[in-house]
Structures are given as C-alpha cells and as structure tokens.
Amino acid sequence: MSVTSIVVDDVSKQFSLQYQRTLKKKIMARMQGAETGDTFSALSNVSFEVPQGQSIGLMGLNGSGKSTLLKLICGVMRPDQGQVLTRGRISGLIATGAGFHPQLTGRENIYMNAAILGMNQQETDAKFDDIAGFADVGRFLDTPVGNYSSGMFARLGFSVAVHVDCDIFVADEVLAVGDRPFKRKCLKRMQEIRESGITMFYVSHSAGSVRRMCDRVIVLEKGRVGYDGAVAEGIRYLHYDGSDDEPDTEDQMDEELASDI
C-alpha cells in the first residue's frame, strides 16, 4: 500500500497589487476616482496528490504559479482556500540565498539555515565538513555572505539543503545559477535523492532535465493545473507550438552535463 506524501486540495492563493506606494498618492488617487489597487490570483483550485518517492517535474511559463505552489508545500505561505498536507520533513531550495543573513559568515549561515530546515546542532556538526566541502566556497566560508556572488549563494544554499535528512525535497530552478562543475554536482546529487525514495518536486524550464529527473509532470497555466500525468506527454503539452523537437540551449547544456556524470 503506497503512502501519500503530499496532498494539495482545492488550493487558491491571491496577492494584493498596490498601484500607489505612498499614502499621499493613494488619497489623491481615491479623490480622483482612480484605482488604488487590485488582487492577483496566483493559484486557483489546484488539487493533486503525490505518493511517497515520486519525482514531480513542475513546469509552466513564468508567472504560472510554480514558486507560489512550492512555498505553500514548504509551509512558507498558507493558502487562502483549501489545504496543503505534507508528510515528514521538507528540505530544498526555493530561492537563492533564502534564509541567509548577509552580515553572518558562510559558516554561521550554514548552522542558521540548517536549523531553519529542521536540523539540530548535533546533526549539523556531524555533517558540517560534507556541507562545506560540497559548497566549495574555500576561504570565503568565514566571510559575510553579503559579499558572495549569486553562484556562491546557490552553492551554499543547495549544499545545506541536500544534506538534510528529509522526506520531501523541493528545488526551484536550482540549476539556473552556478558554473558548470556546480551544475554537474547538483545533477548527480539530485539523481541520488531521487533513487533514495525521497519525494522530489523539481521546477525547471528544461525539458531535458525533467525527462531525466522526474516520473510525472504537472503543468501550471495561469495558476491552474493544465496537465498532470506522464513526463513525455507533459512536455509535449507545454510545448504546444511544436518547438519541443528542437532542444533549446539549456536542454543542450543539460545533455552535455548528464554525459559528463
């Protein structure tokens, strides 16, 4: 009997849009009868279930609601309607440098970020050398992360996330930042996560990566589930103009990286 890892039940999420930033401008706009704000529906009536150990490729155009859905699954935000249920510990990377304090060193941020992800000090102590070695930021480990490049941020954040003992792993465009050796190492580690039986949610615009990493594809369209099913059909659904026959530059790079592993 399979165990359900994630349940997303009739979930909707809205955000407020403000057209004027200051109180003075809002008052003037109201006096003139102009709109001062609006609401934006990021997710509308989204429902699906994920069994333990399945790897989901979450795809869709920019603004389709992918990052919002991941934040709801991670518990960073709450839905306005419906419910999100998850089983076990969740780890992953939903934003480069999320949970880092710019004035703390890389070493200090490893401990803080690990604590945010549910690790205690003893667990972090035991895995610290592996985390630091994977991140490979060298002598910058003891300098404030506010001085890091985006690539160094990504290496440190991903390194902490993949060393957490978890039941669900989420990754939002984790391969979009970083150099070639880092991306190669990420791909190898994510394949290990997939093979270990951990549930994985992987957001990517790369059809090649999704084909290799995932068992199932969910495509979001303007906040709604447009497709949920087999990987090949999901990629064809997303590339409705037929362009999937010609891989883009990111797909070509992913294929080259995979061949190097």
Structural domains of the chain ordered from first start: 4-15+46-260 (3.40.50.300)
**pLDDT attached to residue 218:** 96
Residue 41 CB neighbour total at 10 angstroms? 15
pLDDT tens sequence across 75-115 = 889 999 999 999 999 988 776 556 688 899 999 999 998 99
Give every CB contact of residue 82 below 8 A, 6+ residues apart in sequence: 8, 9, 10, 11, 12, 45, 46, 47
Give every CB contact of residue 211 below 8 A, 6+ residues apart in sequence: 231, 232, 235
pLDDT of residue 37 exceeding 60: no
Q: Distance (Å, rounded) from C-alpha 186 to C-alpha 93? A: 12
Q: Distance (Å, rounded) from C-alpha 58 to C-alpha 212? A: 13
**The token pair that represents 11 in the structure block:** 């979930």
**pLDDT attached to residue 28:** 67
Predicted TM-score of the model (pTM): 0.79
Describe the crossing of helices 249-260 and 180-195 by its angle, rounded to 10 degrees: 70
Scan for tokens 């200090």, then name that residue: 108
pLDDT of residue 249 exceeding 50: no
